[in-house]
Structure formats: structure tokens, C-alpha cells
Amino acid sequence: MSYHYHFISFIIIISLSLAEVINAIINASKEVNLLADSTKFNEAGITSVGPVSSVNRIFTDHSIDVDLAEKYRQTGVEMVIA
């Protein structure tokens, strides 16, 4: 089975109440680090909290699609793959 991953330019979450809190934290932060395992990159959500360009670095596992990781790098986000 092959998967097609889509580049998502916004940080998507599934909780409206959590979105308000995360948005406030992002706005008050000097740096934003996002920790997400590779399975979260093709998930749908109900709201967004801001553009990926507001993230300085994304930490994820080695199973992320290489082309997808490169698309995030091209937006200026540092990808840390462990």
C-alpha cells in the first residue's frame, strides 16, 4: 500500500478549546517547536492555529516521507528527524 502525503501549510488540531490556548502560546513565544510523529502529517483536523511558517523546528521520527520533510524545510522550518 502506498500513501500520498499532502503538504499542509497550517498547524491543524482537533480541539477548538485547545486551539485558543496553543494560539496564545505561539503568539507569546520567541521560538516554536513542534513535536509530532510521522503519522500526524497526513491527519485532518477541525481548526488551525497558524501557519507552519510560525514554527521554527519540527521534531519527528524517521518514517516521515522524505519529499514531505523537504517541503517543510523549503518553508524555512528546521526538520529534526530522529
Per-residue pLDDT tens for 48-64?
A: 777 888 899 999 999 99
Domain count of the chain? 1
Q: Whole-structure pTM over 0.95, yes or no?
A: no
pLDDT for residue 2: 42
In a domain, 4, yes or no: no
The string of pLDDT tens digits covering residues 22-36 is 888 888 999 999 988
For residue 41, is pLDDT > 50? yes
pLDDT for residue 60: 95
In a domain, 2, yes or no: no
Supply φ then ψ for residue 47, to 5 degrees: -155, 165
Residues in the chain: 82
- Structural domain harbouring 32: 10-81
Separation between Cα atoms, residue 82 and residue 77, nearest integer Å: 16
Residues 52, 75 contacting (CB under 8 angstroms): yes
In a domain, 5, yes or no: no
